[in-house]
C-alpha cells in the first residue's frame, strides 16, 4: 500500500513551511489532494516530487518570462508530462538565448574597447539627433549622463550637448549592454575601469561587484545569474524525467 503523508511531512521533505504547501495547492501547482474521513489532506510521493519541481521552477529570475515555468508546473500537476517537458526545454532555450545576447554584447564591448570607431561621418550630433540614431529617448540619454555612464561635452557658444563619434560609440555599448540584461551599476563599474586605462578583463568586471558594493540586482552579476538559470533549467528537466519514471 502506498504511503500517505501529512502536510507537515511534505513541507519537511521539501524544506518549506506547511503554509507554502497549502498555497501551492490553492494556486494549482499540485495534483488534486484526497482527504481522509476526518478531512485531513493525504499526500502521496507524487505530491512531494511535484513540490520539488515547483520549488525548482518557480525561482526568480525568469529569463524569457515567468509564464513558461508556471505552465510547466501546472501541466505536471495535471499529469501532462509531455507538455511539461516541452515547456522545460523552452525555458532552457530562453535562458540560452539570453546568454547569447549577453555574450554578443560583450563582443560588441570588446570591439569598442579595442578602439574601433563605430560612427563615422558627421562630426557631432545634438541630443535629439543622437537619440534618433540610437533608437532611445533624450530622457534616456540624460539619465545615463546623470548616472555617470557618459560625459557629454557642450558647445561653448550655445551650451548644447554635442555628441561626437567617441560619445556615440560609448552610448552604443551602454544601450546594447542594458538591452542584453546588464544593470546600470555593472556597466558603470566596467566603464570606470575602462576610463582608468585598464582595458583588459572588462567582461569579468561587468560580472564581479567590488568589495564595497552591495549587490542590489541579479543583473549586477548577469552572466553568473544566467549560468545559474541554465543549471536550474537542466535540474527541472532531470526532475521531470524522474517523475515520469515514477509514474511508469
- Which tens digits make up the pLDDT trace of 75-131? 999 999 999 999 999 999 999 999 999 999 999 999 889 887 777 767 889 999 999
Q: Give the pLDDT of residue 215.
A: 57
Q: Peptide bond preceding 123: is omega within 30 degrees of 0, i.e. cis?
A: no
Backbone angles phi, psi at 5, to 5 degrees: -125, 150
Question: Between the CA of residue 188 and those of 75, 177, 221, what are the distances in Å?
Answer: 42, 11, 13
One fold for 7-97 and 99-224 = yes
> What residue spans define the domains of the chain?
7-97, 99-224
Q: What is the mean pLDDT of residues 118-145?
A: 90
Q: Please state, in angstroms and rounded to a whole number, the distance separating the CA atoms of residues 23 and 148.
A: 44
Q: Are 29 and 50 in contact (CB under 8 A)?
A: yes
Q: What is the mean pLDDT of residues 55-71?
A: 94
Q: Are 13 and 5 in contact (CB under 8 A)?
A: yes
Which residue in 41, 39, 53 sits closest to 5, CA to CA? 41
Which three cell numbers mark 237? Answer: 528537466
Q: What is the mean pLDDT of residues 239-243?
A: 97
Q: Looking at 95-99, 234-238, 244-248, which range is the least confident one?
A: 244-248
Q: Give the pLDDT of residue 14.
A: 94
Tens-digit pLDDT profile for residues 2-13: 889 999 999 999
174 pLDDT above the threshold of 70: yes
Which three cell numbers mark 218? Answer: 541579479
Tens-digit pLDDT profile for residues 31-41: 999 998 888 89
Does CATH place domain 99-224 in 1.10.1520.10?
Answer: no
| Three-state secondary structure string covering the chain | CCCCECHHHHHHHHCCCHHHHHHHHHCCCCCCCCECCCCCECECHHHHHHHHHHHHHCCCCCCCCCHHHHHHHHHHHCCCHHHHHHHHHHHHHHHHHHHHHHHHHHHHHHHHHCCCCCCCCCCEECHHHHHHHHCCCHHHHHHHHHCCCCCCCECCCCCCECEEHHHHHHHHHHHHHHHCCCCHHHHHHHHHHHHCCCCCCHHHHHCCCCCCCCCCCHHHHHHHHHHHHHHHHHHHHHHHHHHHHHHC
Q: What angle do CA 221, 228, 88 make, to 5 degrees?
A: 135
245 pLDDT above the threshold of 80: yes
248 pLDDT above the threshold of 90: no
Residues β-bridged to residue 125: 163
% of the chain surpassing 90 pLDDT:
72
The length of the chain, given as a count of residues:
248
Q: What is the mean pLDDT of residues 182-198?
A: 91
The CATH class for the domain spanning 7-97 reads mainly alpha
Amino acid at each position: 500500500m502506498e504511503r500517505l503523508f501529512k502536510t507537515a511531512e511534505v513541507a519537511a521533505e521539501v524544506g518549506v513551511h506547511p503554509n507554502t504547501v497549502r498555497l501551492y495547492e490553492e494556486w494549482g501547482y499540485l495534483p488534486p489532494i484526497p482527504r481522509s474521513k476526518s478531512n485531513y489532506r493525504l499526500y502521496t510521493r507524487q505530491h512531494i516530487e511535484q513540490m520539488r519541481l515547483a520549488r525548482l521552477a518557480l525561482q526568480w529570475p525568469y529569463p524569457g518570462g515567468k509564464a513558461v515555468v508556471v505552465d510547466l508546473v501546472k501541466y505536471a500537476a495535471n499529469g501532462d508530462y509531455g507538455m511539461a517537458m516541452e515547456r522545460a526545454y523552452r525555458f532552457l532555450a530562453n535562458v540560452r538565448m539570453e546568454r547569447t545576447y549577453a555574450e554578443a554584447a560583450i563582443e560588441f564591448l570588446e570591439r569598442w574597447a579595442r578602439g574601433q570607431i563605430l560612427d563615422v561621418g558627421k562630426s557631432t550630433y545634438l541630443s535629439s539627433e543622437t537619440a534618433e540614431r540610437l533608437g532611445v529617448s533624450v530622457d534616456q540619454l540624460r539619465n545615463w549622463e546623470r548616472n555617470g555612464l557618459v560625459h557629454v561635452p557642450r558647445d561653448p557658444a550655445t551650451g548644447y550637448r554635442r555628441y561626437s563619434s567617441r560619445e556615440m560609440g560609448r552610448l552604443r555599448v551602454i544601450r546594447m549592454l542594458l538591452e542584453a540584461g546588464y544593470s546600470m551599476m555593472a556597466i558603470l563599474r566596467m566603464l570606470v575601469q575602462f576610463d582608468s586605462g585598464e582595458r583588459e578583463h572588462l567582461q569579468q568586471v561587468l560580472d564581479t561587484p567590488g568589495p564595497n558594493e552591495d549587490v542590489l540586482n541579479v543583473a549586477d552579476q548577469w552572466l553568473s545569474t544566467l549560468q545559474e538559470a541554465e543549471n536550474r533549467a537542466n535540474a527541472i528537466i532531470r526532475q521531470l524525467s524522474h517523475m515520469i519514471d515514477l509514474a511508469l
